């Protein structure tokens, strides 16, 4: 009986510890995602390059698949339009060393014009001890 109580106690402790670690990872990844959008708004392409995995790919709002190099080139060309980008509705889920992030961004291009709204999904992994974004998908929200 004591053995059973000890095993159950250890399993319970392990699950609480895992949940606490997942919460901590989720909070860290949420901060990183917010920082990614700040970097985008500031035009800090160097910081974004450090965030994206070497094999990063994204499906843009137009449905086109872009490689890391293509996405970085697009960001360099359009950085002035991204100065006012605001993420919201972030939902971060952690599965081992993988994080799935969904959310909404609003991009204001011109004063008085309605913002562009995009839903996004990002997949992140821990690589060499750091979170790296490996893929993403963007859907333009119609008015």
Alpha-carbon torsion (47, 52, 55, 56), positive or negative: negative
Give the residue from 75, 73, 102 showing the smallest Cα distance to 90.
102
pLDDT at 17: 41
Residues of the chain above pLDDT 70, percent: 85
pLDDT in tens, 73-107: 999 998 888 878 999 999 999 999 999 999 999 99
pTM over 0.75: yes
Topology annotation, domain 2-140: Nuclear Transport Factor 2; Chain: A, (3.10.450)
Surface-to-core class of residue 7, CB atoms within 10 Å of its CB (0-12 exposed, 13-18 middle, 19+ buried): exposed
pLDDT tens, 103-122? 999 998 877 788 899 999 99
Mean pLDDT of 43-57: 96
Three-state secondary structure of 16-70:
HHHHHHHHHHHHHHHHHHHHHHHHHHHCCHHHHHHHEEEEEEEECCCCCEEEHHH
Two tokens, residue 19? 């949940």
The mean pLDDT of 56-78, rounded to a whole number, is 95
The residues spanned by each domain of the chain are 2-140
């Amino acid at each position: 009986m004591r053995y059973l109580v000890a095993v159950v106690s250890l399993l319970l402790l392990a699950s609480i510890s895992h949940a606490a670690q997942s919460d901590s990872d989720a909070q860290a990844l949420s901060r990183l995602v917010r920082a990614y959008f700040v970097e985008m708004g500031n035009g800090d392409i160097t910081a974004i390059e450090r965030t994206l995995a070497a094999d990063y790919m994204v499906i843009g709002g137009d449905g086109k698949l872009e490689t890391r190099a293509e996405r970085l080139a697009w960001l360099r060309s359009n950085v002035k339009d991204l100065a006012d980008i605001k993420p919201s509705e972030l939902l971060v889920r952690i599965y081992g060393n993988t994080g799935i992030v969904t959310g909404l961004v609003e991009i204001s291009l011109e004063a008085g014009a309605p913002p562009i709204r995009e839903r996004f999904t990002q997949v992140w992994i821990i690589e060499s001890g750091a979170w790296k974004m490996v893929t993403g998908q963007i859907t333009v929200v119609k008015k």
